[in-house]
Structure 1
């Protein structure tokens, strides 16, 4: 099958297009354009990202940390544009794994999907762990390690049940979560600016002494985790490609909307919170470790703050649901292609619910294990978020790199969405941004800490990749898979033998 025929035809029927790619889907196309966008938005979840990382970012680099949201937003938009071209041509469930499979091959795709899957599981654990303290505040009990873990497991269980109910319920949950989160962001941010503002916009350029004793750039780079953590989720729009009507057109639009709307909402909430923190130096010094709860209590009173916290918790739940949906589709795509141990279970499909139940269950059990393991780390949330962000970025950039390689070898995107002459420069810029982000996240910044803590992000990335390579060597399931792969790059004409590496071209 040539990727420039059935798979790439802009007017192709989704079922026909999928069949031309070698698959017959068991999913139901119950997800419209707004539900698809809402899934990406609630996965990105500006409320979750800001409320989870705001205290860390403000304490590390002061109010200027907000500019990392702008930088990360532009960089991830470039990545989203590259993904848009890929998913328009290959609208297959699972996201980065099937995309890398068509752009490069089975082994590369296996490792790409492995890194991304582990990062997704850890991200789910990070989101539900971040919700724990807010549950404690809402119901008035101490946010101890054990209570946070129990609350996290509770949210995880609810999300897993919802994900088992099918695409239509998932779509409805995504739309409800989007509406609640956007209204919450606008109402909370607007009320804070109207009633609780203690500073003007000038503080966005004032570090208040954060990072003193070192080059401020290092402090800003560390605090940029808030921007990095905020801007993924748009890829979830493509993870459910087989459940979307007209995916070649709808998914690229949903990806871009996720970046635009999610980025604007996140920046608005972060600015409103920063202007409402009365004593920024107290946050930087560590005297006020929870500025968000203090600001909400002051602005809304005890009863009002609990209402806001309820909206925040709904955002955490909807984010978890969307993350699990993405992870479940990725695990299912591995199973369908017979690429991993347990494939016979992961590819099983509920004909009543039209979901892969065991793949969804896996996306609940593994994050639960990570949450339980966090009991043994004092700063577990920061470590979880750090690795999750690194793993997501690494998985993204493996796809971006595969797309660049494919372009240089002759791939011409043939889906309903194409960048045309801008494809190559956007691809290069996306790769440069992503590699810079990976280096920023992995760079050791705590020389006073034990070496394994100082290099925890880099080490975790190396361990995950090494385990993936070890698995591939011991259990080469990818070699048994006969699903299509490496078909984005045009094959040479049958009457022209492919030139060997190093062989003269004859020109």
Structure 2
């Protein structure tokens, strides 16, 4: 190693810029996000506390304590997707995540549709998480929750997130890091206390179905309860959304993605385990008599004051989750606009003096706020739109997994600093099989007494979003306006040109 730390950092930044230029872009983002800060962005987006606490009661009632194992199984499945993403982002570390990856793997039309679906899914997720914060703030401050109060709280939360994001990447990284520490420490302390002092169930309860069955079989009930895990394990892709704000992204971002799955998944499983074993009366939860077991557990364990302190930690998790989601959405819009793929591109691709896409950030706050405001007039409509959040993200994920398979079939051989080598194709196929199975499980109708449009709401919203996107794409042809490279992943492999991978990797190592 030679030179001062400042000189080495400058050389590393120069090599990152050189790699980006080789990919056809230049960037004015501030590359100030460390590995742990990048990971924190993915962790707070995944948010174990938000995911577990929000769905715990519903899924425990649906499948009983064995719902715990869905976190492990789905975590392994999402890890396969994460590994595929790691190979792609390592070679194409471009802001915007799934959109630029799809563009390089397959082409402009494929990328446009991926970006369209993912953008709407992110906006719906922001709205859903913001609305979900309402009951926890009400519990913390001691007032009765209501649908209108939840809407007003959500709007304030989105406004706060937008303001924090507009300050710049450094504040985003610090808030994400603070959120990660609060959430992890909170999960460990609360979970540890529950396990040591408030355990009402034996560990064997994790294998007790309590005679829950659907048409004589427990499997459908377990699959319904597994929605807890399905709604939990995404967020790792957000690490790649800020690729141009992270030094040495080809190496750091795949690692941060895997860390998000490992640490986020472990934290979620620990929180879920602690809550299950702390349920005072499991039969009441399964019978539907205790519809909010989380509040029951926390009130019994910590009393009025202590439970409010726990709710304060939960609120930090909600705030940091919305912040990370909005950061991901704004970088996607920025990447879309930089390639002239969307109306208002000249505004959306602008970076402010703080080196953030300010207009894109505002749009990624306004759209979720409008979705939230629909709740003042059409509560069912908001629930349907928010229900699209998870399925939309899973669809976008699988479009990338399929895109990677298409590129491999054409001859693409990943050449970034992170590759799976000979295992790449097998992992890619396994990720596709898992993802398709997860999507089928999510959209499967489970309320035979409900109206058909409620049972099939996820399918309907997905068809509407993708149909509208396809129609707009065919009529306006937005993909034809930009000149950025597209569909060239396999050509780089065929020509032996690995400037985006090995050459830049060697240069960075020299800078070290």
Q: TM-score, normalised by structure 2?
A: 0.92
**Superposed, which structure 2 residues align to 1:21-60 within 5 Å?**
21-60=23-62
**Superposed, which structure 2 residues align to 1:67-106 within 5 Å?**
67-106=69-108
The change in CA–CA distance for 1:338 and 1:155 in structure 2 (over 3 A counts) is same
Given that residues 371 and 382 in structure 2 are in contact (C-alpha distance below 8 angstroms), is that contact kept between their aligned partners in structure 1? no
Tell me the CA shift for residue 55 of structure 1.
1.1
Q: Aligned match of 1:293 in 292, 295, 316?
A: 295
> 2:232 maps to which residue?
230
Rounded Cα–Cα distance in structure 2 between residues aligned with 1:211 and 1:153: 40
Tell me the CA shift for residue 129 of structure 1.
1.3
> 1:163 maps to which residue?
165
Rounded Cα–Cα distance in structure 2 between residues aligned with 1:374 and 1:210: 34
Tell me the CA shift for residue 376 of structure 1.
5.3
Deviations 1:390-437 (A, max 9, x none): 111100000010001111110010100011000000000001000000
> 1:346 maps to which residue?
348
Given that residues 13 and 247 in structure 2 are in contact (C-alpha distance below 8 angstroms), is that contact kept between their aligned partners in structure 1? no
> 1:280 maps to which residue?
282
Q: Aligned match of 1:179 in 181, 192, 198?
A: 181
**Superposed, which structure 2 residues align to 1:114-193 within 5 Å?**
114-193=116-195
> 1:472 maps to which residue?
473
Rounded Cα–Cα distance in structure 2 between residues aligned with 1:371 and 1:249: 38
Secondary structure of 2:490's counterpart equals: coil
Given that residues 125 and 384 in structure 1 are in contact (C-alpha distance below 8 angstroms), is that contact kept between their aligned partners in structure 2? no
Rounded Cα–Cα distance in structure 2 between residues aligned with 1:242 and 1:393: 24
Tell me the CA shift for residue 33 of structure 1.
0.7
Given that residues 102 and 403 in structure 2 are in contact (C-alpha distance below 8 angstroms), is that contact kept between their aligned partners in structure 1? yes
Secondary structure of 1:38's counterpart equals: helix
Tell me the CA shift for residue 214 of structure 1.
5.3
> 2:324 maps to which residue?
322
Rounded Cα–Cα distance in structure 1 between residues aligned with 2:494 and 2:67: 53
Tell me the CA shift for residue 375 of structure 1.
4.3
Tell me the CA shift for residue 123 of structure 1.
0.8
Given that residues 132 and 143 in structure 1 are in contact (C-alpha distance below 8 angstroms), is that contact kept between their aligned partners in structure 2? yes
The change in CA–CA distance for 1:382 and 1:196 in structure 2 (over 3 A counts) is farther
Given that residues 60 and 211 in structure 1 are in contact (C-alpha distance below 8 angstroms), is that contact kept between their aligned partners in structure 2? no
The change in CA–CA distance for 1:299 and 1:468 in structure 2 (over 3 A counts) is same
Rounded Cα–Cα distance in structure 2 between residues aligned with 1:329 and 1:37: 16
Given that residues 332 and 356 in structure 1 are in contact (C-alpha distance below 8 angstroms), is that contact kept between their aligned partners in structure 2? yes
> 1:393 maps to which residue?
394
Tell me the CA shift for residue 162 of structure 1.
0.6
Provide structure 2 residue ranges, at least 5 long, that are not aligned to the other structure: 1-11, 496-512
Secondary structure of 1:164's counterpart equals: helix
The change in CA–CA distance for 1:361 and 1:199 in structure 2 (over 3 A counts) is same
Tell me the CA shift for residue 476 of structure 1.
1.1
Secondary structure of 1:448's counterpart equals: coil
Please identify which structure carries the higher helix content: 2
Deviations 1:303-346 (A, max 9, x none): 11111100000001001100100000001101111001111221
Secondary structure of 1:232's counterpart equals: coil
Tell me the CA shift for residue 280 of structure 1.
1.7
Provide structure 1 residue ranges, at least 5 long, that are not aligned to the other structure: 1-9, 495-507
Secondary structure of 1:368's counterpart equals: helix
RMSD, aligned α-carbons:
1.8
Rounded Cα–Cα distance in structure 2 between residues aligned with 1:491 and 1:355: 31
> 2:448 maps to which residue?
447
Tell me the CA shift for residue 493 of structure 1.
8.0
Given that residues 154 and 372 in structure 2 are in contact (C-alpha distance below 8 angstroms), is that contact kept between their aligned partners in structure 1? yes
Paired residues, what number? 484
